[in-house]
Amino acid sequence: MHFSKLSLGVLLLVLDCIADICENPPIRKEWRELDLDERHDYIRAVRCLASRPAISGLENAITHFDDFQATHSDQTPSIHWVGHFTLWHRYFVATYEKALREGCGYKGVQPYWNWSLDASSTNNSSMKIFETDIFSAHRGFGGNGKYLTANATQNPFNLTGRTGGGCVEDGPFAPPDFMLAVGNPKGQPDCLRRDWIPWIMNYFAQQSLVDDVLAQPDYTSFARALENIPSFSEPNIHGGAHFGVGGVLGTLGNSALSPGDPLFFLHHCNLDRIFWEWQNQDLPTRFHQVGGPIMPLDYGGKNVTLDFEVNIGKLASNTTLESLLNTQGDFLCYTYSG
Ligand SMILES: *[C@@H]1O[C@H](CO)[C@@H](O)[C@H](O)[C@H]1NC(C)=O
Ligand SMILES: *[C@@H]1O[C@H](CO)[C@@H](O)[C@H](O)[C@H]1NC(C)=O
Ligand SMILES: *[C@@H]1O[C@H](CO)[C@@H](O)[C@H](O)[C@H]1NC(C)=O
Ligand SMILES: *[C@@H]1O[C@H](CO)[C@@H](O)[C@H](O)[C@H]1NC(C)=O
Ligand SMILES: *[C@@H]1O[C@H](CO)[C@@H](O)[C@H](O)[C@H]1NC(C)=O
Ligand SMILES: *[C@@H]1O[C@H](CO)[C@@H](O)[C@H](O)[C@H]1NC(C)=O
Ligand SMILES: *[C@@H]1O[C@H](CO)[C@@H](O)[C@H](O)[C@H]1NC(C)=O
Ligand SMILES: [Cu+2]
């Protein structure tokens, strides 16, 4: 009697929870839609994450912020130019957002950077794309590094038009407050670096390129268009902020260590928003569709399926691609402002 009452209570509680699943999804916004207090709270939380102890056990990870950089670095060979690229990064950004909330008392949402707002369609060398609040010292993430020369080994793609390479010297992520330990010799953390390349940023951030990606008919072609080829001979919207901001010597331009620049998460949040927008064109189909190679660039080989498992190391539990398709389901809970 007593037992069954308890069971009924538990059952009602469970039903109640199911009914409550993602009823009021937090709405992710563009950085400039946040007011100054909200922006400062986000920056505060990121700096807080970079002061909390690491949990990943990965090499040189000292802080919980480092854990994210180290986890991405660890998995770099298996999470790019694959079918799970977009969903792996969706999970990664959502877990970062959760860490900001749960570990650092952040009350807001993960913001995105709609770089298409800033891109020039007429002048590839225009620096105007960098004259936004994103790079403001007080209202954003600080600016470029000082110009440093790069030799051929450091610049294997022979990228032209570099403008920086040194430490970000202004804003909330300047040294010695904010240092990156992962990928550097033990005990010798390096600063956050940026190396703006205006032509890449202006060209790859065009809304017309975003529109091409949004027009893809199925998941496989969508994911492939998003990343395109590992070369600079054709544009791709994923490479835009990575190499437009990180260039050759900057943190965001380092394919393994890129999450060391806090802007990584605003860039990938924008890619996730584009993915979400693409899914919204046909939700019944696109909540249940994945594809693309398991091995990088292996377009004739084995493809990922809905039950394919991704892992982000010790940051969170392993999960299936299917569980990550719906941002308002029982696993993830957020939506976008536009
Ligand atoms: C991003 O910016 C582009 C260019 O202004 C605009 O066309 C697009 O609608 C914007 N997207 C969002 C979600 O605001
Ligand atoms: C920008 O650069 C790309 C690659 O060099 C070129 O194809 C494109 O036409 C350029 N756009 C403008 C507006 O100069
Ligand atoms: C292109 O942008 C650069 C840097 O912002 C500027 O110096 C140059 O005058 C611009 N060129 C044109 C044709 O507007
Ligand atoms: C290129 O520069 C890096 C960093 O300064 C240095 O370690 C490396 O030896 C240089 N390589 C060549 C080929 O000059
Ligand atoms: C960069 O330049 C070097 C030297 O000219 C050349 O060997 C190499 O193939 C070039 N790399 C690319 C990706 O074009
Ligand atoms: C993987 O998907 C691609 C694109 O849909 C297809 O061409 C290829 O045959 C698939 N691979 C296998 C092994 O089924
Ligand atoms: C998560 O996946 C990784 C890679 O497949 C595996 O090594 C690990 O054991 C899995 N973790 C759990 C808890 O299943
Ligand atoms: Cu990545």
| Structural domain includes residue 138 | yes
Q: Is the N-terminal amide bond of 217 cis, ω within 30° of 0?
A: no
| Structural domain includes residue 3 | no
Q: For residue 336, which phi and psi values (nearest 5 degrees)?
A: -120, 155
- How does pLDDT run across 21-59, given as a tens digit for each residue? 899 999 999 999 999 999 999 999 999 999 999 999 999
What pLDDT, on the 0 to 100 scale, is given for residue 338? 72
| Structural domain includes residue 14 | no
| Structural domain includes residue 267 | yes
| Ligand 1 centroid from CA 110, angstroms | 17
Residue nearest to atom 7 of ligand 6 (CA): 300
Q: Which atom of ligand 4 is nearest the CA belonging to 151?
A: 1
- Sequence letter at residue 55: I
CA distance between the termini of the chain: 52
CB 216 near ligand 1, within 6 Å: no
What pLDDT, on the 0 to 100 scale, is given for residue 153? 96
Query: For residues 252 and 130, is the Cβ–Cβ distance under 8 A?
Result: no
What pLDDT, on the 0 to 100 scale, is given for residue 325? 98
Q: Quick one: residue 167, left, alpha or beta (phi over 0 = left, psi -120 to 50 = alpha)?
A: beta
| Structural domain includes residue 7 | no
One pLDDT digit (tens) per residue for the chain, 338 residues: 444 544 544 444 444 445 458 999 999 999 999 999 999 999 999 999 999 999 999 999 999 999 999 999 999 999 999 999 999 999 999 999 999 999 999 999 999 999 999 999 999 999 999 999 999 999 999 999 999 999 999 999 999 999 999 999 999 999 999 999 999 988 899 999 999 999 999 999 999 999 999 999 999 999 999 999 999 999 999 999 999 999 999 999 999 999 999 999 999 999 999 999 999 999 999 999 999 999 999 999 999 999 999 999 999 999 999 999 999 999 999 999 87
Rounded to whole angstroms, what are the CA distances from 34 to 17, 25, 100, 134, 337?
30, 17, 16, 11, 11
CB 121 near ligand 3, within 6 Å: no
- Ligand 1: which of 29, 115, 116, 210 to mutate, most ligand atoms within 8 Å of CB? 116
Tell me how long the chain is. 338
Q: What is the rounded distance in angstroms from the CA atom of residue 115 to the CA atom of residue 128? A: 11
Rounded to whole angstroms, what are the CA distances from 1 to 4, 8, 13, 15?
5, 11, 18, 21
242: domain range? Answer: 28-336
| Structural domain includes residue 120 | yes
Q: For residue 28, which phi and psi values (nearest 5 degrees)?
A: -70, 140
Q: Is 296 helix (H, G, I), strand (E, B) or coil?
A: coil
Could you tell me the pTM of the whole model? Answer: 0.93
Q: Report the number of distinct structural domains present in the chain.
A: 1
| Structural domain includes residue 296 | yes
CATH of the domain at 43: 1.10.1280.10
Q: Where are the strands (E) in 272-317, listed by range?
A: 309-310
What pLDDT, on the 0 to 100 scale, is given for residue 232? 93
| Structural domain includes residue 22 | no
